[in-house]
Amino acid sequence: MQQHILALVLVLAVTGACAAAPPRSEGAQATTPPDAAQVPHLPVDQPIVESALSVGEDAGDATRGALTPVALGARFASVEAFRKAHPPDRDPSCGPAPARTRSASVRLGARGTITAAEVVRLAADVACAPIERCSLALRTAAGWFVAEPTDTCAGVIGPGARTARQDERLLAVKTSAAELIEYRYTTVIARTSVTPDGQRAGDERREVRWLVVCGLGASGVPSCTEPIAVSCADAEGTVHGVSWSYADGSLQLESKVDPDACQDEPLALGTYPLIFP
Would you say residue 3 has pLDDT above 70? Answer: no
Q: Residues 162-171: what's their mean pLDDT?
A: 89
Domain limits of the chain? 36-273
**Cα-based distances in Å from 203 to 5, 31, 129, 187:** 19, 20, 20, 17
**Cα-based distances in Å from 164 to 49, 112, 152, 159:** 14, 31, 9, 15
3-class state of residue 165 by DSSP: strand
Would you say residue 38 has pLDDT above 50? Answer: no
| pLDDT attached to residue 106 | 66
| pLDDT attached to residue 256 | 87
pLDDT in tens, 93-128: 887 766 665 666 666 655 568 999 999 988 888 788
Report the share of the chain in percent with pLDDT over 90: 29
Q: Determine how many CB atoms are found less than 10 A away from the CB of residue 82.
A: 23
Kindly report the average pLDDT of the chain as a whole number. Answer: 74
Would you say residue 197 has pLDDT above 90? Answer: no
Would you say residue 199 has pLDDT above 90? Answer: no
pLDDT in tens, 200-235: 777 778 888 999 999 999 999 999 999 998 998 888
Would you say residue 175 has pLDDT above 50? Answer: yes
| pLDDT attached to residue 160 | 74
Closest CA to 151 of 44, 232, 256, 52: 52
Would you say residue 250 has pLDDT above 70? Answer: yes
pTM for the model: 0.72
Would you say residue 265 has pLDDT above 90? Answer: no
Would you say residue 34 has pLDDT above 80? Answer: no
151 vs 276 pLDDT, higher one: 276
CA atoms of 65 and 268, how far apart (whole Å) = 8
Would you say residue 4 has pLDDT above 60? Answer: no
Q: Residues 60-86: what's their mean pLDDT?
A: 77
3-class state of residue 83 by DSSP: helix
